[in-house]
Chains A and B, each alone.
Chain A
Amino acid sequence: MTAKRIIARLDIKGDRLIKGIHLEGWRFLGHPNDYCRKYYHEGIDEVLYVDAVASLYGRDHIKEIIKQTTADAFVPITAGGGIKSVEDAYEILRCGADKVAVNTAAVKKPELISEIANRFGAQCMVISIQAKKNTAGKYMVCYDSAREYTDTEVSVWAKEAVERGAGEILLTSVDKEGMMRGMELELIELVTSAVNVPVIACGGFAQPSDFVEAVNAGADAVAIARALHYEKVQIADIRNQAIKNQIPVRNV
């Protein structure tokens, strides 16, 4: 059996863990490695770091955070935020990350997806897609922490990114992000039926039943930020709820 993954998403600013709403309005929570250690011991399946300010201030902090993570958490590490080149990706992978998540730079220069995939393998290249519903009810691609909008539909971009070599999709609903009012199931269905690579659903997780619903909508993994950081949910409770609903999860 293959398990559906529970992923902790940690948004980083400098050397601190932050959490916002709709990818804006940050608050400092503490040191990311402290949170990561705790989640590892509670049985998290994967850790996802997103550096909110790497584009502005470079990557020294996140590199140190990743290096420390390899000593604390023996699970896969994905890192993203401000990755603009193959060299940026290499820097992050060299610190112990297993995959890189790329958003803005890939929207601006789609060839970057193939460049990273060809160099490190498709499994390393996670395309991070921020989706927002427009007034016509269509999901559109945003970037730059959802400050910028494109006129590309999410399913179109997802297919293109996979054709260019993305091995996985991190799909964030900007509307649901940080709200803890449930996940955007329609969006998850749309993207998982459009592509044949694993999809990590992100945005809106509030309770264990959200994990079940997201997986039933087609997600291979669910990334959780706020609900974990504010201790609104225990990882064990998500597992138990999944097992009750015949969803395979890792035995820890």
Chain B
Amino acid sequence: MKSVSIVDYGMGNLLSMQRALEKNGAQVLIASNPEQILKSEKLVLPGVGAFPDGMDELVKRGMVPAIQEYVNTGKILLGVCLGMQMLFQESEEMKRTDGLGLIEGKVVKFPHNQKSGKINKIPHVAWTQIEPVEISWKKTFLDGIEANSFMYFVHSYYVTPVSDLNILAQSPFGDFYFCSATVHQNVWGTQFHPEKSGEIGLQIINNLIKH
């Protein structure tokens, strides 16, 4: 049986991710310390909440070097929502905070206004479409997902990768597009919640398990 570990650092909804993995036949392990992270075959970094709190909790548990070392072995890491944001170098949420630095770029807040002056609704709590930009989804973790599928999002901040090659999918917000899925070799991330995005979301979870 394929095993997937979920990082438990006191933030986010572990149970929903666990159930989505189990539904697709994975054996789920909870990684609550650096040793368990390093032993993982595949790793999911979930997370709901504020960026500084999330990083604080990872630092407190000694998980930052463990996650970096785990990634260096070439095994897959999937960050979801705040978990995706923490893959990047830094965030401006509340105060400037360093992230895991696995992908170049930073995390910024959605603008309150559109160019036309229209006011954006923040947080972005919605089912919103994802679409490919330059990279084909073939052979990535979005393989088999139809362009413009709706995914479930809940967030107020978004990632801005330095390189377009790290943008696997984009989604509209107000009058612009933001990066809604990222990839950098074995480091993957989704701003949306695949575990909350119905059958299409489960297909992404299945891609993770099978990859």
Q: Chain A interface (Cβ within 8 Å of chain B)?
A: 1-3, 5, 40, 43, 45, 67, 70-71, 74-76, 93-99, 119-124, 167-168, 196-198, 220, 250-252
Contacts and interface: CB of A to CB of B under 8 A. Distances in A.
A71 B127 contact: no
A123 B199 contact: no
Contacts of B124: 2
Interface in B110-133: 119-129
Interface centre among A2, A76, A94 (most CB of B within 10 A): A2
A96 B15 contact: yes
B19 interface: yes
Contacts of B202: 74
Interface string B124-153: 111111000000000000000000111010
Contact of B197 (A74, A93, A122): A74
Counting chain B CB atoms within 10 Å of each CB, which of A75, A94, A198 scores highest?
A75
Given A5-B126, A45-B127, A95-B15, A75 B121 contact: no
B102 interface: no
B14 to A, nearest CB: 9
A167 B125 contact: yes
B154 A76 contact: yes
B48 to A, nearest CB: 6
Contacts of A98: 13, 16, 48, 154, 193, 196
Interface residue SS majority, chain A:
loop
A40 B122 CA distance: 27
11 contacts: A2-B126, A71-B23, A74-B23, A75-B196, A121-B50, A122-B156, A123-B48, A124-B48, A168-B125, A196-B121, A196-B122
B156 A123 contact: yes
A120 B49 contact: yes
Nearest to B12: A93
B25 interface: no
Contacts, number: 102
B156 A67 contact: no
Interface string B90-121: 00000000000000000000000000000111
Contacts of B148: 1, 251
Interface string B8-28: 000001011001101100000
A99 B198 CA distance: 17
A198 B16 contact: no
A74 B125 contact: no
B125 A198 contact: yes
B172 interface: yes
The 3 closest A-B CB pairs, nearest first, are A3-B127, A250-B150, A96-B15
Contacts of B195: 74
Given A123-B48, A251-B148, 20 more contacts: A2-B127, A2-B129, A3-B150, A5-B127, A40-B198, A74-B19, A74-B20, A74-B202, A75-B152, A96-B13, A97-B13, A98-B48, A122-B156, A196-B119, A196-B122, A197-B122, A198-B121, A198-B125, A220-B125, A250-B127
Interface string B151-193: 0101110000000000000001000000000000000000001
A83 to B, nearest CB: 17
Kindly name the residue among B125, B156, B195, B199 whose own CB sees the greatest number of chain A CB atoms within 10 A.
Answer: B125
B116 to A, nearest CB: 15
Contacts of A196: 119-122
A114 B148 CA distance: 35
